[in-house]
Structure 1
Amino acid sequence: MEIIELKHPYQEKEIIQEPIVLALGFFDGVHLGHQAVIRKAKEEAVKYGYKLAVMTFNQHPKIVYTKLDDESMFYLSTNERKAELLADFGVDILYLVEYTWDFGSQAPQEFVDRYLVDLNAKVVVAGFDYTYGKPEVANMQTLPEHAAGRFEIVEVDKLMIDEHKISSTSIREHIEAGDVTAANKELGYLYETSGIVVHGEKRGGSLLGYPTANVETTAKEFLPGIGVYVVEFNVAGQWYQGMASIGYNVTFGDHRYITCEVFILDFDRMIYGENVKIRWHKYLRGEIKFDGLDNLIKQLDQDLIDTRQYFEAL
């Protein structure tokens, strides 16, 4: 997949000079609803023999229009992860537009002329709730007027699951509540985060017999809520089974900072400084303040049994 980064106003030489089918959306998480848009766009691309392109933004528009700063915005998928997922779903070209005040200040007609027509879109595919300006004047119902017959428009209806619309918001709510099973159901794949292994307090191995990799999330990714989880852990391109704890290690005192620690099954290597990935399979339990190490170790032993049983049942 070719990735083309655009900043408004872009130069004509930056654009692929051939007809395309263009899918529109922010696509945070590239969940099943997003995949329905991409799948429909792929069908159109195959039908006409065009390449499939996606246009999205480098950051959420809320950062431009509200007091929310970039450091406070967390995503289900970073731009790198989003590109990886889009490539997996058959996208040929990714237009990653830098969302600035200047870009967002375009009139709806200017956006359509410059970012749909001038990108050589012959078919435009988007979800039913896509907007390209103020919702009341720049939506899927107004798009035909702005298109003026210069490209076909395909609208994809909402996708429902368990009687509610699949959305990035609902997925974030599931993840924050620790319900990664529900989140994965709406994503259509296992939720994944990344980070780097850093030095921790080294208590897991010396006191508990459960040495852990302390993972510092380096990207603005949305981490699951406090609790213990069944996970897979990727280091140096290899996936391993594991169990992860996100919490404050309350057994060892109050007012501690939050950590993400992973015990990797059947693994014995020093991996400090390694870039790693975590796939979140299942919530096991909440964080518990134990009254002694023996009870904590007993619970960790049970967590390990539950984790092994989970993978054996797959």
Structure 2
Amino acid sequence: MKTIFLNDLASNSRSELRPSVMALGFFDGIHLGHQKLIEKAKEISKQKKLELSVLTFFPHPKEILSQEKFHYLIPLEKKIEILRDMGVERLYVVRFDKEFASLAPELFVKEYLLSLHVKEVVAGFDFTYGSGGLGTMQTLEANGKGAFLVNKLSKVELNGNKISSTLIRKLLSSGQVNQIADYLGDYYQTQGYITNLYPIYNLKTVSRIRYYVSAFNTLPNAGTYEADVLIKKQWVRCICHVFLTKAGKVTVEMKIPREINIRSREEVTIKWLSKCSEKTTILLKHLNG
């Protein structure tokens, strides 16, 4: 897969791009709804013998337009990795800034679809574009003036809920991590690294570590969780504690078997399986002193 940051792509280079079927969206988390959309674009690209492309944005519009912190599910690098594994051939990343946000819908279509030789577009029913989100799936075909076909994906639901990144964030904020796999296709994962190692003198078989999570991941709310931890290419079942430090920072601590020779700054991936009950949490505190 070739990844192109469009703001840095000279206009004269665009004439060399191959015609494509393009999936549009922010795709935070790449949940089952996103996957269905991209698979639809992939199906069309095979039928029409066109390249499969995706257009996404970074950072999230809320950070620019509302100047509020956005709670990302995955970093851009992880998004790129997943899209590559899904068979996307070309990924366009647009740097979302105030200038881009001010584009009229017609200009967005001209600069980011027509100039990229898009022949078919696939997007969700609620996708918007252009200044103030005035461009919708109802206006997209007209703005394209017949240069491309438009495929609108209907709302994807499960258990009466729309599958969305917003829903997954709500499940994280309420600690219901066990339900996320139903909407994401797998348990939610965070990437980070070890910041501190602490000896536990009464538990000689394990080491207590503190973990820094990427700024582009969102941790579940405070509590005790069962999790699978990937460290040194080895998955280990652990109990992870999410809590707020005195400095007001959300932090994770866990205990790792000492036979795994861990060091500070070691990269760690946590797969969040389930929140421990209050009874289990009290028992763990008692056992660990």
Superposition TM-score, scaled by structure 1 size = 0.83
Instruction: For 1:123, give the aligned amino acid.
Output: E
Instruction: For 2:196, give the aligned amino acid.
Output: H
SS in 2 for 1:64: helix
Instruction: For 1:121, give the aligned amino acid.
Output: V
Mapped to 2, the partners of 1:230 and 1:265 lie a distance apart of 15
Instruction: For 1:60, give the aligned amino acid.
Output: H
Residue among 100, 105, 117 paired with 1:103 = 100
Higher strand share: 2
- The aligned residue for residue 275 of structure 2 is 283
How much has 1:268 moved relative to structure 2? Answer: 3.2
1:11-26 pair list within 5 angstroms? 11-13=11-13, 17-26=17-26
How much has 1:110 moved relative to structure 2? Answer: 0.7
| Corresponding residue pairs, total | 288
Residue among 136, 143, 147 paired with 2:144 = 147
How much has 1:248 moved relative to structure 2? Answer: 4.6
Instruction: For 2:82, give the aligned amino acid.
Output: L
Matched, 1:128 2:117: no
Mapped to 1, the partners of 2:12 and 2:187 lie a distance apart of 39
Question: What's the CA shift string for 1:154-173, capped at 9, x where partnerless?
Answer: 11111111111111111101
Q: Contact 2:241–2:254 at 8 Å: present in 1 too?
A: yes
How much has 1:288 moved relative to structure 2? Answer: 9.1
Q: Contact 2:207–2:258 at 8 Å: present in 1 too?
A: no
SS in 2 for 1:96: strand
Q: Contact 2:14–2:115 at 8 Å: present in 1 too?
A: no
- The aligned residue for residue 233 of structure 2 is 237
Mapped to 2, the partners of 1:215 and 1:287 lie a distance apart of 25
- The aligned residue for residue 217 of structure 2 is 221
Mapped to 1, the partners of 2:4 and 2:233 lie a distance apart of 27
Instruction: For 1:164, give the aligned amino acid.
Output: N
How much has 1:181 moved relative to structure 2? Answer: 1.4
Mapped to 1, the partners of 2:24 and 2:15 lie a distance apart of 16
RMSD: 2.6
Residue among 165, 168, 190 paired with 1:171 = 168
Q: Contact 1:6–1:97 at 8 Å: present in 2 too?
A: yes
Mapped to 2, the partners of 1:73 and 1:151 lie a distance apart of 33
Mapped to 2, the partners of 1:80 and 1:108 lie a distance apart of 28
Listed as ranges, the gaps of 5+ residues in structure 2 are none
Compared CA separation, residues 8 and 110, structure 1 to 2 (3 A)? farther
Mapped to 2, the partners of 1:66 and 1:258 lie a distance apart of 23
How much has 1:12 moved relative to structure 2? Answer: 3.3
> Percent identity among equivalent residues?
33
Instruction: For 2:85, give the aligned amino acid.
Output: D
